[in-house]
Amino acid sequence: MKKPIYPVGAAKPLAPYSPAVEVNGMLFLSGQIALVGDTGTLRMANIAEETTQVMENIGVILKAADMNFAHLVKCTIFLSSMDHYAAVNEVYGKFFDDAPPAREAVAVKGLPRGVNVEISGVAVRG
């Protein structure tokens, strides 16, 4: 049975989707962008700040599911340009200890609301 996760105070989804869905101990996180809490504003002064907000949003969802970054086993990073790759990696890496999740990073033609980075993931209990 699937359980949608809607963290209190988190940004509302921009379309018909759940921020995350848990099923059989696995948490599937929808792509997160730099939306600030429930204000609907974007935090995009620079790519480091934008990535930090994305990762904080992921942390809020993980916490709502009684998980943390150590539970992430797979992430996908979508970038508006591969020029952001190094800066995103620098911020992203700070959220993991010695065993970061598997992942890929790809440049795409466009992202919601004109953002530069979107990250999705899969977390597992246990």
Domain positions in the chain are 3-124
Residue 5: burial class (beta carbons within 10 Å; 0-12, 13-18, 19+): buried
In this model, does residue 14 exceed pLDDT 80?
A: no
**Quick one: pLDDT band at residue 13, thresholds 50, 70, 90?**
confident
C-alpha span between 97 and 84 (Å, rounded): 22
Give the other-Cβ count within 10 Å of 46's Cβ.
Answer: 12
pLDDT tens digits, 28-79 = 999 999 999 878 899 999 999 999 999 999 999 999 999 999 999 999 999 9
**pLDDT computed for residue 35 by the predictor:** 95
Superfamily of domain 3-124: RutC-like (3.30.1330.40)
**pLDDT computed for residue 98 by the predictor:** 85
Query: Would you say 88 and 76 are in contact if contact means Cβ atoms under 8 Å apart?
Result: no
**pLDDT computed for residue 10 by the predictor:** 85
**pLDDT computed for residue 126 by the predictor:** 79
11 three-class SS:
coil
C-alpha span between 64 and 105 (Å, rounded): 26
